[in-house]
Amino acid sequence: MDDFTPRPGRLVEWTAGADAAAMVAAASLDPSPPSYSQKFHIGWHQANMAGGVRPSSWLTAVFDLPGRLDATAMAAALESWVRRHPTLLTWFQLDDGRPQRYAIRPADFSLRPAVLGTFDAGADIRDRLQEQFDSRIDPLTWPPFVVAGIERADSATMLFAVDHTHTDGYSLIQIFREVRDLYEAELAGTSAGLPEVGSYVDYCASEVARASEISSDSSAVGTWLKFAQACGGTPPGFPLDLGLPPGGRAPGVSYTMELFDAAEADAFNAACLRAGARFSGGLLATLGIANQRLAGEDDYRGLMTLHTRTEPRWLVAQGWFTNLVPVQFPVAGHRRFGDLLPKAQLAILRAAKLNDIPFHWIAQILAEKMNLLSDPRSVVPMTSYIDLRRAPASKDFEAARFQVIAGHSEFDEVFIWINRDWHRTTFTAVHPDTTVARQNVHRYAELVRSVLREVAHNGDAPLAQ
């Protein structure tokens, strides 16, 4: 959020206002259980609060719309959008420490615009929005979102902050197309024609039912156990020092670097295809090379995010449709990127077979043997790759200045997102804000970029420098 400085304008929020209390009072108990990600997120939030730290549990989609904003038409579009995604009409309360879901009746839900003031400085708008997001969004409150807009004569900037309990990165990406189309349909008096969509609330119930069929003696649990044992009983972390004392954490900071442009990405992809692999396999092979060069690690081990939108009804649904899977492959004994690449791709394919089983359920099964979730205040480190070109309306992202931003939390590890769009591929890391972590994360990213570009330009790269 610190890097977000919008153009000045009039700040508007769409809110249920005083009606929110009545909506909550009329809400009903929903028997649908939380997903395993939701349950973990609530525990993480509560553990940090108990430790005196209020974490920012929200993620925000930001984009511009052309022309002067019609706030009333936008209110109608937002009401349609929220009703389209039932998870946004739910929240959780703790019953003897266990999260219980409650649901607002869709017919009771409404929004109205409220002007918060005109601001001459973008930094003042940012600070006001961050205060709004941090003070009002958490997994045990309804509504679990704040929607705001910055009005100007020639354009408007829309912001959708949603608690992570009800969204993920790809869900945020889809907000742009859906809200834009619904808003334009309101202005034109037509239908937006959006595809049918399922409910994440239903997904949660099906996930818990599937997980209940997994026993501790299943082959999948055995695979996870071997992986965890190879990692020393804890999740695999960043290979370099982060400048933290044992058990220490620090406020997180984000660092983004452009890895290569569209032409270089295409060339890198072609090199991967020639070796019978894919772009994602090439990325992990490169991380394996970086770990070996900088930290001497002979094997790559990491947790990778994969989406769980395995049915058509989930494809454009709002919710937390991701899972963590274990990826490992040998790096030592290979001479070049092209030799290592098939091993990395095979490791991803093997890991994908475990994607049906929620990571947090696995951690619960293995809790007596392994410490995969040793500190409830911490988040498990992971690596994510998203090809944004597959998202609806992705060719409009650049003109709309679409972006995803997050708030402040404390971390003890590094989280990596590699995103490819129509113009560039970027490396983003969130890490503890220490001098040592900054130096080592930047050094790591620079080496990753160097190897990727060498493959893009030469078709291959050596493992050793």
Q: What is the pLDDT of residues 394-431, one digit of tens each?
A: 999 999 999 999 988 999 999 999 999 999 999 999 99
The residue among 436, 409, 435, 430 whose CA lies nearest residue 418 is 430
The answer, as to whether pTM is greater than 0.85, is yes
* For residue 156, pLDDT beyond 80: yes
pLDDT value for 456: 98
In which band, very low, low, confident or very high, does the pLDDT at 390 lie, cut at 50, 70 and 90?
Answer: very high
pLDDT value for 448: 98
The residue among 6, 28, 135 whose CA lies nearest residue 86 is 28
Distances from the Cα of 384 to the Cα of 302, 410, 415, 416, 427, angstroms: 11, 20, 8, 6, 10
* For residue 17, pLDDT beyond 80: no
Query: Any idea where the domains of the chain sit in the sequence?
Result: 9-203, 216-458
Name the more confident of 367 and 310: 310
| Torsion from C-alpha of 312, 138, 146, 407, nearest 10 degrees | -90
pLDDT value for 385: 97
Residue 392 C-beta-side C-alpha neighbours within 13 Å? 15
Task: Please compute the mean of the pLDDT values over residues 12-37 and round it to a whole number.
Answer: 90
Task: Tell me the CATH number for domain 216-458.
Answer: 3.30.559.30
* For residue 368, pLDDT beyond 80: no
Q: What is the pLDDT of residues 82-96, one digit of tens each?
A: 999 999 999 999 999
Task: Map tokens 């709002």 to a residue.
Answer: 318
| Fold equal for 9-203 and 216-458 | yes
pLDDT value for 331: 97
Whether the ω angle into residue 55 lies within 30 degrees of 0, i.e. cis, is no
pLDDT value for 367: 84
Task: Map tokens 């708008």 to a residue.
Answer: 125
Q: What is the pLDDT of residues 192-251, one digit of tens each?
A: 999 999 999 999 999 999 999 988 889 999 999 999 999 988 899 999 999 999 989 999
CB 185 within 8 A of CB 332: no
Task: Please compute the mean of the pLDDT values over residues 57-79 and round it to a whole number.
Answer: 96
**DSSP reduced 3-state for 198:** coil
User: In CATH, what class is 9-203?
Assistant: alpha beta
Q: At what angle do helices 337-352 and 279-295 cross, to 10 degrees?
A: 110
Task: Please compute the mean of the pLDDT values over residues 51-77 and round it to a whole number.
Answer: 95
* For residue 382, pLDDT beyond 90: yes
Q: Are strands 415-420 and 383-387 parallel, antiparallel or unpaired?
A: parallel
pLDDT value for 8: 95
